[in-house]
Chains A and B, each alone.
Chain A
Amino acid sequence: MFGWLERNPFFFAVGVFIVIAFAGLIEIVPDFAQASRPVAGTKPYSLLRLAGRQVYIKDSCNACHSQLIRPFKSETDRYGNYSLSGEYAYDRPFLWGSKRTGPDLHRVGNYRTSDWHANHMWDPTSVVPGSIMPAYKHMFTNVADLETAYAEALTVKKVFNVPYDKDIDGDGKVDVPLGSFEQAKKQALAEALKIAKETKREDLVKMVESGKIPEIVALIAYLNGLK
Chain B
Amino acid sequence: MQSPAIEYDYTVAKWFSYLAILFGILGMGVGVLIAFQLAFPDLNYIFGQYSLFSRLRPIHTNTVAFGFTLSGIFATWYYVGQRVLKVSMKESKFLMTVGKLHFWLYFIGALLAVASLLVRYTTSKEYAQFEWPFDIVVVIVWVLWGISIFGLIGIRREKSLYISLWYYIATFLGVAMLYLFNNMEVPTYLITGMGDPLHSVSMYSGSNDALVQWWYGHNAVAFVFTVPIIAMIYYYLPKESGQPVYSYKLSLLSFWGLMFVYLWAGGHHLIYSTVPDWMQTMGSIFSIILILPSWGSALNMLLTMKGEWGQLKENPLIKFMVLASTFYMLSTLEGPIQSIKSVNALAHFTDWIPGHVHDGTLGWVGFMIIAALMHMAPRFYKREIYSKKLLEAQFWLQTTGIVLYFSSMWIAGITQGMMWRAVDQYGNLAYSFIDTVTVLHPYYTLRAIGGLFYLVGLFMWAYNFFKTMTASRAIEREPQFASPMAA
Contacts and interface: CB of A to CB of B under 8 A. Distances in A.
B201 A152 contact: yes
B190 to A, nearest CB: 9
B194 A35 contact: no
Nearest to B124: A57
B429 A64 contact: no
B195 A7 contact: no
Interface string B48-70: 11001111011000000000000
A159 B184 CA distance: 13
A83 B274 contact: yes
A62 B421 CA distance: 22
Contacts of A27: 211, 215, 264, 266-267, 279, 282
A207 B202 CA distance: 32
A190 interface: no
Interface string B459-472: 00000000000000
B201 A156 contact: yes
B1 interface: no
A85 B267 contact: no
Contacts of A24: 177, 181, 215, 263
A93 B125 contact: yes
Interface string A85-115: 1111111111111111111000000000000
B234 to A, nearest CB: 13
Contacts of A63: 53-54, 57-58
Interface string A137-173: 1100000010111111011101110000000000000
B174 A20 contact: yes
Given A6-B161, A19-B256, A13 B169 contact: yes
B194 A181 contact: yes
Contact of B207 (A2, A35, A74, A156): A35
Nearest to B257: A19
Interface string B431-454: 001100110000000000000000
Query: Which of B202, B348, B349, B433 has the most CB atoms of chain A within a 10 A radius of its CB?
Result: B349
Contacts of B55: 59-60
Given A6-B161, A27-B282, A150 B208 contact: no
Contacts of B353: 98-99
B169 A23 contact: no
A6 B199 contact: no
A24 B205 CA distance: 17
A175 B202 CA distance: 23
B425 interface: no
Contact of B206 (A59, A70, A85): A85
Interface in A2-54: 2-3, 6-7, 9, 12-13, 16-17, 19-24, 27-28, 31-32, 34-36, 54
B98 interface: no
Interface of A: 2-3, 6-7, 9, 12-13, 16-17, 19-24, 27-28, 31-32, 34-36, 54, 57-64, 66, 68, 70-72, 74-75, 77-78, 83-103, 125, 128-138, 145, 147-152, 154-156, 158-160, 181
Interface of B: 37-38, 41, 44-45, 48-49, 52-55, 57-58, 120-126, 150, 153, 159-161, 166, 169-170, 173-174, 177, 181, 186, 188-189, 191-192, 194-196, 199, 201-202, 204-213, 215, 252, 256, 259-260, 262-264, 266-267, 269, 272-276, 279, 282, 345, 348-351, 353-354, 420-421, 423, 428-429, 433-434, 437-438
Given A35-B208, A100-B350, 14 more contacts: A6-B160, A12-B161, A27-B264, A34-B276, A36-B207, A36-B208, A72-B421, A88-B206, A98-B269, A130-B437, A134-B54, A147-B196, A155-B188, A181-B194
20 contacts: A6-B166, A21-B263, A23-B264, A31-B211, A35-B208, A59-B52, A60-B124, A68-B273, A70-B272, A90-B206, A91-B209, A93-B125, A94-B213, A99-B351, A100-B349, A129-B434, A148-B188, A154-B191, A155-B188, A155-B192
